[in-house]
Amino acid sequence: MTKSASTPRPARRGKQRTVAPNDAPKEVDDWLGRNLSRAANTVLNRFQEVFSEYDMRPALYSALVAIENNPGASGAQISSWMDVPRTNVVILLRELEERGLISRGRSDEDRRAQSIDLTQKGRRLMPKLRTAHKRLEAEFAASMSSSERQLLNRTLRRIWQAGPSSAE
Amino acid sequence: MTKSASTPRPARRGKQRTVAPNDAPKEVDDWLGRNLSRAANTVLNRFQEVFSEYDMRPALYSALVAIENNPGASGAQISSWMDVPRTNVVILLRELEERGLISRGRSDEDRRAQSIDLTQKGRRLMPKLRTAHKRLEAEFAASMSSSERQLLNRTLRRIWQAGPSSAE
DNA sequence: TATTGTTATACTCTATAACTATA
DNA sequence: TATAGTTATAGAGTATAACAATA
């Protein structure tokens, strides 16, 4: 069984910040890695809340988008498009198949490869997921100017694209 | 035993990007959460490489900095300063103690609380770790202007500080 | 009742080694 | 030899519940 077949994770309790806001600047305030990790985690938490009714994780959602954007692609092609190691994509694909959102046939030309597509159930789900995702993005975009948001995404891409490709 | 007592993790193989750079813009290119996660992961990988000779993880390093900045503090105070749940700080403190980098006595005023300090070994290690960390920061800062870097850190802080405090 | 420290456990993403089947 | 798919396993960070000891 997959874990995600269980009850959706309860949204984080929205605890109030009780810490006094007069915190002095800390040595760690400008650590890039720390700020990135914590920001990523904040977005992850909101993702789980926004998508709670769909029992959807970010990696699962991006796999669905990859499949929708590459109809009939093989797992290796999905892996390459997502830039995620094949070995980790396998788990996502199995889970999506178990949930009836994708189908995996055998390719005619290359009998090693699969031919992956959204099922009708999957195709029907996508617009709802996209709506939820747009809501999530808009929520964070609300606290930035448009140019600031674009610069942020460009800067972040420059950071991670400088590293080695994650696709195996 | 703690895992970190084992051999330092081998630095990631620096694989060349073989993917053709003519990738068309993808739907996922402007996903904030994805860009944040991947950027954070890139910095994490570099952290592991730069700190490989010290067998040091980011969380462990930031705990050391927290302790150095709060001599004699309790675990709860360290947790609050780091803004990390107590339950996760416990693991870091135990590991640091096992490695002889910190000492944990009992507080005189409150017999529940500990009084945490760097050991001499820990104090001697800190300058080396700081040097490595400065190198790491400088490496990523090199690809940005100073104002861009400041804006980035400010934006990231705004994102994660908007969420609930992680300190329990 | 509340706080301190702790154990146990789970979840998400990422990473590597090793294997089978096919090319 | 190389590629596609898979299994198993590990590491890093984050999260919650529950407990004993102390306040």
In a domain, B95, yes or no: yes
Task: Tell whether B46 is within 8 A of chain A (Cβ).
Answer: yes
Question: Running DSSP on this structure, what letter comes out for residue A4?
Answer: G
Task: Tell whether A27 is within 8 A of chain B (Cβ).
Answer: yes
Regions in chain B scoring below 70 on pLDDT? 1-22
Task: Tell whether B58 is within 8 A of chain A (Cβ).
Answer: yes
Please check the confidence at residue A17 and state whether its pLDDT lies above 50: no
With a 7 Å cutoff on the CB, does A48 touch strand C? Answer: yes
Residue B137 belongs to domain with CATH number: 1.10.10.10
Contact indicator for A119, A103 with CB cutoff of 8 Å = yes
In the predicted model, what is the mean pLDDT of residues A66-78? 98
pLDDT band at A164 (very low <50, low <70, confident <90, very high): confident
- Mean of pLDDT over chain A: 89
Residues present in chain B in total: 168
In a domain, A25, yes or no: no
In the prediction, which pLDDT does B20 show? Answer: 42
pLDDT band at A162 (very low <50, low <70, confident <90, very high): confident
Number of domains making up chain A: 1
In a domain, B26, yes or no: no
In the prediction, which pLDDT does B75 show? Answer: 98
With a 7 Å cutoff on the CB, does B44 touch strand D? Answer: yes
**How far, rounded to the nearest angstrom, does the alpha carbon of residue A65 sit from its chain's CA centroid?**
9
Beta-bridge partner residues of A117: A103
The Å distance, CA of A139 to C1' of D8, is 39
pLDDT band at A168 (very low <50, low <70, confident <90, very high): confident
Q: At B66, phi and psi to the nearest 5?
A: -60, -40
With a 7 Å cutoff on the CB, does A58 touch strand C? Answer: yes
**How far, rounded to the nearest angstrom, does the alpha carbon of residue B135 sit from its chain's CA centroid?**
14
In the prediction, which pLDDT does A4 show? Answer: 38
B109: domain range? 53-156
